[in-house]
Amino acid sequence: MITKLPPVAAAMGRLSGAGRLIVDRASWTLIDQGVVSLGGFILNLQLARSLSSADYGIFALFMGTVFMLRSLDFSLISYPLSVRLCSLSTDAHPVTLANTAVLATVLSGLLAVALAVGTIMLGRADIALAATACYLAWQAQEMSRRFLTAHFRYRSAVWGDATSFLGQIFVIAALSSADALTLQSALYALAVMFLAGALVHMAQLHFGRPCLEELKALCREHYRIGKWSLLTYEVVLLRTQLFPWVLALFAGTAATASFQAALNVANVMNPVILGIGAVIPQATAQQRLIGGLHGAWRVARGYILFGLPPVMLLAAIGILAPDLVLRLMYGADSPYLDLSLAVRLLVFAWACEYVGEMIAKTMLGADLGGSAFLVNSTGAIAAIIAVPLVIPYGVLGACLALVVANITRLLFAWLLMSWHLTRLDQPAADAVSEG
């Protein structure tokens, strides 16, 4: 009787177990991110159909600003938390969450003041209070969501995200049917739904009592872990948010609205890009402790391949049938129906974004933050070099420039990761199995 599996069978058992873990985590993070992105996608369609082009352009700029501010929160709060929790005992988690919540609250308050001042200085004092309320509520929802996903609790996060992002669809629809939908009322409505989602998230979390004596050391630790992530995300946002602002400067907010309308089609890929991108840093950080960079890359590659088929399918639909997609999204009388070429360019750019972003996220999780920064800096520099295309070609120039930037970033990311892998010896476990 065989009492022990042969080495090959044992290895296959371990592989299938790792594969099942990847599928389980990736499936739930895609479901969760799918809920978030579906809500954001339909919200953009509702506002694009109901608001004037000028107001919808302002909303697009507001969203870009929020993502820039939230990059600070993610890099200095959420990302360090997700990396640190895997090395802490379960008993330490409640106090760690409480201390992290204190840091997040202080940072959000400072950023909210900056947002309010900036909104007033840009001449939109009429929406300053609504924009600030929306931002703070969104921060509460996102912070509590990140606390759940830091434990790989993507299934638990679905309920609060559905409350916020699917609930906002019905609230905006109600405002529209009552002829009460304005940019200001939309922002207040979003704030209410974000708060509701935050409450659902927090009901599933267990917080300890904050330890004020530990906050200073925690600040240093979060900065040490998150500094490369912060630099990386700032250059990512420079690359992606540069074009809406340049279009607003040279062609007006209506051009920004057209760019956003075309980008909404490419954003259908966001559940995959954001979902897989959220789990890779945590998974690779854990695996690096066991199998080094080679082990981290094997795990990351499994997640990347899991998300690749839906990305390619969505890109193919956008490239082959952009007219149909635009008509379905915005209606037969929409001013955005002439954006077919822009859609083709942006869905191709977003397919490149997926692979390049996942490689950069792998570098962050594998303690190669400097390399991740170089990858994203390369994309940002390419975007800046291509910006002059916006002046003669407008929206199409912005789309083409984003294609150039994303291809450049993808190629550099692949080459740099290959260099890191080839300069290292295979882990000892691999050498033993090969022998």
The CA distance from 130 to 125, in Å, is 10
What share of the chain in percent tops pLDDT 70?
A: 90
53 located within any domain: yes
Is the model's pLDDT at 107 over the cut of 80?
A: yes
325 located within any domain: yes
Is the model's pLDDT at 22 over the cut of 70?
A: no
Kindly indicate the confidence band of residue 103, based on its pLDDT and cuts at 50, 70 and 90: confident
The CA distance from 55 to 183, in Å, is 7
Is the model's pLDDT at 68 over the cut of 50?
A: yes
Q: Report the number of distinct structural domains present in the chain.
A: 1
pLDDT for the residue 11: 40
Tell me the average pLDDT across 168-184.
Answer: 92
What share of the chain in percent tops pLDDT 90?
A: 37
Kindly indicate the confidence band of residue 25, based on its pLDDT and cuts at 50, 70 and 90: low
Question: What is the per-residue pLDDT across 349-390, written as a single tens digit (0 to 9) for each?
Answer: 999 999 999 999 999 888 888 898 899 899 999 999 999 999
Instruction: State the angle between helix axes of 7-50 and 53-73 in degrees (0 to 180), rounded to the nearest 10.
Output: 140
Among 247-251, 297-301, 342-346, 374-378, which stretch is predicted with the lowest mean pLDDT?
A: 247-251
Nearest to 260 by CA among 35, 37, 47: 47
2 located within any domain: no
Q: Judge whether 287 and 303 are in contact, CB under 8 Å.
A: no
407 located within any domain: yes
Kindly indicate the confidence band of residue 308, based on its pLDDT and cuts at 50, 70 and 90: very high
Tell me the average pLDDT across 21-50.
Answer: 80
pLDDT for the residue 24: 64
Higher model confidence: residue 167 or residue 97?
Answer: 167
Maximum mean pLDDT: which of 49-58, 330-339, 397-406, 421-430:
397-406
pLDDT for the residue 213: 76
Q: Judge whether 33 and 287 are in contact, CB under 8 Å.
A: no
Is the model's pLDDT at 233 over the cut of 60?
A: yes
Tell me the average pLDDT across 126-147.
Answer: 90
Q: How far apart are the first and last CA of the chain?
A: 27
Among 81-85, 162-166, 198-202, 263-267, which stretch is predicted with the lowest mean pLDDT?
A: 81-85
390 located within any domain: yes
399 located within any domain: yes
The CA distance from 124 to 429, in Å, is 60
Is the model's pLDDT at 73 over the cut of 60?
A: yes
Is the model's pLDDT at 7 over the cut of 80?
A: no
pLDDT, the chain, mean = 84
1 located within any domain: no
pLDDT for the residue 88: 66
The CA distance from 425 to 423, in Å, is 7
95: domain range? 7-434
pLDDT for the residue 19: 62
Q: Judge whether 284 and 365 are in contact, CB under 8 Å.
A: yes
Higher model confidence: residue 11 or residue 233?
Answer: 233
Q: Judge whether 26 and 306 are in contact, CB under 8 Å.
A: yes
Q: Judge whether 300 and 284 are in contact, CB under 8 Å.
A: yes
CB-count burial class (<10 Å; 0-12, 13-18, 19+) for 56: buried
398 located within any domain: yes
Kindly indicate the confidence band of residue 23, based on its pLDDT and cuts at 50, 70 and 90: low
Is the model's pLDDT at 430 over the cut of 60?
A: no
CB-hemisphere CA count at 13 Å for 78? 25
pLDDT for the residue 356: 94
Higher model confidence: residue 226 or residue 327?
Answer: 327
pLDDT for the residue 6: 40
Is the model's pLDDT at 8 over the cut of 70?
A: no
pTM of the model: 0.67
